[in-house]
């Protein structure tokens, strides 16, 4: 069978282009650090790499959720500690005012101190983290607590936004694990339906202020329920609520810390597996590039010799 010059040219150019393609692919692998540029390069490994990459992305999202949750917990815990300290200070003022050696003027001063503490408490109850109310339940953009003031500007009552303070905020920290990261306001300041009762911390403190301002004398007919000792006892009950929620946040913080370490370790494992699935061996790839480069240059040299003769060379 006769092989024409055209066929030889076509075959040679095809082989030469294949060498160039090989060099290009190897250079791409070297520059990107990945040997799987297209799924067709290795369908089995490509499928495995896609699964690993998808899992890694989910785990990284879980890690971001945990870090966000930890920030919420840390902020909330710090605010609860401030409120617990505030309650202790109010109780100390009330205890001092209940002493028989206190004058009416002393008690007026104590009432003013408690009034300032009440203002601080309201500000803490409406604390915001990154522009969101931390004790506002699930509607984090709505003010949880709104006060009513008298003509002198003093707080006489506080109302809760009942549509928000009960709501819980969750973060997904694994495929099958979801945690509540906030403390709803109804578990702390004012249980739903308790406004104006001795379960409402704002009511307790405002009435404690009023009783002390009245020379430590409750209004007539309320000698028992608005006396300083009784209100201090109710304030202690509220403090217990705060301590319980602080305990919850403390245990939650530890759990999130443990989860962070576990997720970070797993992400390292997934990253290593993904690199092995789609990565390249630098030494191997450099050797293959050198081989392809040598073969390409050899073909160029051979082609220059093979196709340098023509019909004129044979007419002599």
What is the rounded CA–CA span in Å between residue 131 and residue 245? 22
Measured over the CA atoms of residue 26, residue 27, residue 31 and residue 32, the dihedral's sign is negative
Which pLDDT tens digit goes with each residue over 220-260?
A: 999 999 999 999 999 999 999 999 999 999 999 999 999 99
- Report which listed range, 8-12, 21-25, 224-228, is most confident: 224-228
Torsion of CA 239, 245, 251, 257, to 10 degrees: -120
Dist. CA 179–CA 256, nearest whole Å = 9
Q: What fold, for 76-256?
A: f41 fragment of flagellin, N-terminal domain (1.20.1330)
Tell me the DSSP string of 216-268. Answer: T-PPTT-TTTTSHHHHHHHHHHHHHHHHHHHHHHHHHHHHHHHHHHHHHHHHH
pLDDT at 122: 97
Q: Which residue has the tokens 């006060």?
A: 147
Q: What's the whole-model pTM score? A: 0.73
**pLDDT higher than 80, residue 294:** no
> Which one-letter DSSP state was computed for residue 34?
B
pLDDT score for 316:
46
pLDDT of the residue at 86: 97
């Amino acid at each position: 069978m006769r092989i024409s010059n055209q066929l030889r040219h076509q075959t040679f150019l095809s082989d030469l282009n294949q060498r160039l393609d090989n060099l290009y692919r190897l250079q791409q692998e070297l520059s990107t650090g990945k040997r799987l540029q297209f799924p067709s390069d290795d369908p089995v490994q490509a499928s495995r790499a896609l699964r690993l990459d998808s899992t890694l992305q989910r785990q990284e999202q879980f890690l971001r959720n945990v870090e966000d949750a930890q920030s919420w917990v840390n902020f909330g815990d710090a605010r609860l500690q401030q409120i617990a300290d505030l309650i202790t200070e109010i109780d100390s003022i009330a205890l001092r005012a209940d002493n028989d050696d206190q004058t009416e003027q002393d008690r007026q001063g104590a009432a003013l101190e408690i009034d300032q503490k009440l203002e601080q408490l309201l500000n803490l109850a409406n604390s915001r983290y990154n522009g969101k109310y931390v004790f506002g339940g699930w509607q984090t953009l709505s003010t949880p607590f709104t006060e009513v003031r008298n003509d002198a500007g003093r707080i006489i009552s506080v109302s809760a936004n009942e549509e928000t303070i009960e709501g819980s905020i969750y973060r997904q920290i694994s495929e099958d694990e979801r945690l509540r990261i906030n403390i709803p306001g109804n578990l702390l300041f004012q249980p739903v339906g308790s406004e104006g009762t001795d379960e409402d911390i704002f009511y307790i403190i405002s009435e404690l202020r009023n009783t002390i301002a009245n020379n430590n004398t409750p209004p007539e007919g309320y000698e028992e329920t608005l006396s300083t000792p009784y209100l201090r006892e109710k304030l202690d009950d509220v403090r217990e609520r705060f301590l319980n929620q602080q305990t919850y946040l403390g245990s939650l913080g530890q759990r999130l810390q443990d989860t962070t370490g576990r997720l970070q370790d797993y992400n390292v494992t997934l990253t290593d597996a993904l690199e092995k699935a789609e990565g390249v061996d630098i030494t191997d790839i450099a050797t293959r590039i050198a081989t392809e480069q040598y073969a390409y240059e050899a073909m160029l040299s051979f082609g220059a010799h093979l196709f340098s003769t023509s019909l004129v060379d044979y007419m002599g």
